[in-house]
Chains A and B, each alone.
Chain A
Amino acid sequence: MNDKTPSATGWLSLLCRVLLGGLFIFAGTLKLAKPQGFADSIMGFKMLDVDAHSHIIITMAYVIPWTEIIAGTCLVLGLWARASAGVITAMLTAFIAGVVSVILRGIDTKCSCFGELEWPCTGGVGWCQVIRNCVMIALAIPVFIWGAGSLAVDRPSNT
């Protein structure tokens, strides 16, 4: 455990990584509970041809939620915090690109980012999901700057 005296930045990092990691564990678990629904949502983004790339869509329906859960768990525990925040930020960036692509192409589809729960967004894919993902990326910034912070498995020099 981190034996350094807790500081304000340490507690801020802890708060951000527990919030962000917890959200990702929650999102991944909801998706894994309904993989068919998530596969339908991936198809709804119309970025892959269903006939030509069905195996990729099915693989993504499992790999994305599992990666969310594993990276989220590492982040909550403060284990390899910067790397897990990096994985989550990379995923959020990809999600933003996908959502913007859907908006620009005028496709009416659902996000299923949090399974059937889309709080605080309602309706189909839109700018609300982009803003929500940007807020989540902002939660990763303190972890990048100050590391895992307080109550972390990582040692201060190893975050």
Chain B
Amino acid sequence: MPTLPTHAGRFALIALVGILAGLTHSAIHEPLKLKPDAPPPLVLGTSNTPATSPDAPQAVTLGLDITLAQAKQLVDAGAHVVDARSREEFEAGHIANSFWLPANLFYEGKAQDALNFMDPNTRIVIYCGGGACDASHNTAKMLQENGYKLTHVLTDGYPAWSAANYPTATGKPFYEN
């Protein structure tokens, strides 16, 4: 006569059912995106680029991750700026004219307020707290999924921008006023 499994057997069975359910779900669900795509290449410092200064650096092809100087050039040329940090951090200080778009606004279906003001054909500079923060890459993924492919991430984030004394602002996003 078959016997009921022991506590250890039941433990393993519950875990196994969870694993099988998860594997099945992941197989039928559309693939998750772990990293943003590199944007179409943009060469800074040539005639077809947004470089505005006569002493612009020599031509550099921009990828997904960009430096502070490259971000400044893009912003000066009219790129959108997106803050991927928390609301509290945004209101305490952000790059002037930033949109506030942490990735969770996309998950919650609340990103449209900002997207209404954004042109998908304009370059976008995204930032978070710099260093080990990955919020800007998460926002880049979500922007790309919504048709905004020209995304760049300022890897050193807001601390570097602020330390360079580039234009900043405080309070609510400009489009909420």
Given the known A-B contacts A66-B18, A84-B14, are A57 and B25 also in contact in the complex, defined by CB atoms under 8 Å? no
Task: Choose one: B18, B33, B34, B107; the contact of A67 (CB below 8 Å).
Answer: B18
With a cutoff of 8 Å between Cβ atoms, the chain A residues found around residue B18 in the complex are 63, 66-71, 87
With a cutoff of 8 Å between Cβ atoms, the chain A residues found around residue B15 in the complex are 67, 87
Q: Across the A-B interface, how many residue pairs have beta carbons closer than 8 Å?
A: 102
Task: Choose one: A36, A37, A83, A107; the contact of B7 (CB below 8 Å).
Answer: A83
Interface residue tally on A, bucketed by range: 35 or more
Asked if B26 and A86 make an inter-chain contact with CB atoms under 8 angstroms apart, the answer reads no
Given the known A-B contacts A36-B32, A66-B18, are A86 and B25 also in contact in the complex, defined by CB atoms under 8 Å? no
**Which residues 34-63 in A have Cβ within 8 Å of B in the complex?**
34-37, 39-40, 43-44, 46, 50, 54, 57-59, 61-63
Task: Choose one: B11, B14, B107, B132; the contact of A108 (CB below 8 Å).
Answer: B132
With a cutoff of 8 Å between Cβ atoms, the chain A residues found around residue B108 in the complex are 116
With a cutoff of 8 Å between Cβ atoms, the chain B residues found around residue A97 in the complex are none
With a cutoff of 8 Å between Cβ atoms, the chain A residues found around residue B7 in the complex are 82-83, 86
With a cutoff of 8 Å between Cβ atoms, the chain B residues found around residue A63 in the complex are 18-19, 21-23, 26
With a cutoff of 8 Å between Cβ atoms, the chain B residues found around residue A62 in the complex are 21-23, 25-26, 29
* A residues adjacent to B (C-beta < 8 A): 32, 34-37, 39-40, 43-44, 46, 50, 54, 57-59, 61-71, 74, 80, 82-84, 86-87, 90, 106-110, 116, 123, 158
* B residues adjacent to A (C-beta < 8 A): 4, 7-8, 10-11, 13-15, 17-19, 21-23, 25-26, 29, 31-35, 86, 88, 103-104, 107-108, 129, 131-134, 138, 141
